Amino acid sequence: MADAGSVTGQIRERLATFSPAERKVARALLSGTPTVGLDSSAKLAEWAGVSGPTVIRFVNRLGFATFAEFKSSLRTELDARVLSPVDLDRQRRARPADTGRALATLQDIADVLDSTISALSPDDITQVAELLGDRRRRVVVTGGWFSQVLASYLVALLQRVRPGCALVEQNARSRTAALADADRHTLAVVFDYRRYERESETFARAMHARGARVVLFTDPWLSPISDIAEAIVPVDMAVSGVETLAPAMAVVESVVTEILDNDDEQARDRFVRFNEIADDLR
């Protein structure tokens, strides 16, 4: 049986291996309405425009013996998606903490960082680094209520190694201006984590409609934006009521370091020039 909480991730990873009919089922589940999978197999077949046996073959390909088993795993995943910070904090407080709460939280952060490293492929980092390092594209970056901190940090680091990077603020004016300038030479980077934000999805889809390529930083449950993203970087976050940004911050740093490590002479020249100017200004 497939692991609980990883259904949508497995679907996306295996998308290219499905038959054309099975891909219709996959896209129905990845299109931002995965709850359709919690109904009957007949309803899912109707929604995807395929036959009932196609749905059964699809869930079997994912490693589920029955559709009921698939639904159970999907329900677990969707329940985890909508956990509030209050729910997470209750779970944390219910666990014993022999070393004290503060040290237990630090250990939790270390654990989610380890799980993020284990789940990520080097190819994930390389792909995003190549996209962000491509100076033929303008880069615009935005985030959500808390993940805007990550967006701002990524822009600050990118500006040291390449031109043409801008932070898109969380307001209608800033996002409208970014969309007005967007075209096929634009790379839109979006940070969107559980409980996903409608404004971020609207912005990402509008960027995609204008020809921009989309890079998504998200969590293991995958933001609805994942169905249009060219590259996805999922990180574990669940620790406590605040949810840690530490793994996402570490991944941001590793991506920019990868750009510098790609033997990119222009990136290294800019890095040296940027820091020399910064030293002079200080």
Tell me the pLDDT of the chain (282 aa) as tens digits: 344 346 877 887 787 788 989 988 887 787 655 567 787 888 888 888 899 999 999 999 988 999 889 888 887 776 665 555 555 556 556 656 555 566 777 877 888 788 778 777 788 889 999 999 999 999 999 999 989 999 999 999 999 999 999 999 999 999 999 999 999 999 999 999 887 899 999 999 999 999 999 999 998 778 889 889 999 998 887 665 567 889 999 999 999 999 988 877 898 899 999 999 999 988
The total of other beta-carbon atoms located within 10 Å of residue 84's CB is 11
Alpha carbon distance 260, 266 (integer Å) = 9
Q: List, in order, residues 6 or more apart from 164 with CB less than 8 Å away.
A: 135, 137, 138, 139
DSSP 2: P
The total of other beta-carbon atoms located within 10 Å of residue 126's CB is 15
Q: What is the pLDDT of residue 149?
A: 96
Asked if 274 and 268 touch (Cβ cutoff 8 Å), the reply is no
Just give the CATH number of 119-281: 3.40.50.10490
Q: What is the pLDDT of residue 128?
A: 95
The total of other beta-carbon atoms located within 10 Å of residue 272's CB is 11
Q: List, in order, residues 6 or more apart from 263 with CB less than 8 Å away.
A: none
Alpha carbon distance 180, 174 (integer Å) = 10
* CATH 3.40.50.10490, the chain: domain bounds: 119-281
The total of other beta-carbon atoms located within 10 Å of residue 276's CB is 10
Alpha carbon distance 47, 264 (integer Å) = 47
Q: List, in order, residues 6 or more apart from 41 with CB less than 8 Å away.
A: 52, 55, 56, 59, 67
Within 13 Å and on the Cβ side, how many CA atoms surround 73? 21
Count of residues in the chain: 282
* CATH 1.10.10.10, the chain: domain bounds: 7-81
Q: What is the pLDDT of residue 109?
A: 80
Protein fold of 7-81: Arc Repressor Mutant, subunit A (1.10.10)
Amino acid, single-letter form, for residue 225: I
E strand or H helix at 215, and its extent? strand 213-218
Considering the entire predicted model, what is its pTM? 0.71
Spatial strand order in the sheet of 165-167: 165-167, 138-142, 186-191, 213-218, 231-234
Q: What is the pLDDT of residue 4?
A: 38
Handedness of CA 171, 177, 180, 183 (dihedral sign): negative
CA angle 204, 248, 243 (to 5 degrees): 100
Tell me: the pLDDT tens digits for 125-152? Answer: 899 999 999 999 999 999 999 899 999 9
Q: What is the pLDDT of residue 2?
A: 42
Q: What tokens were used for 202?
A: 């609207």
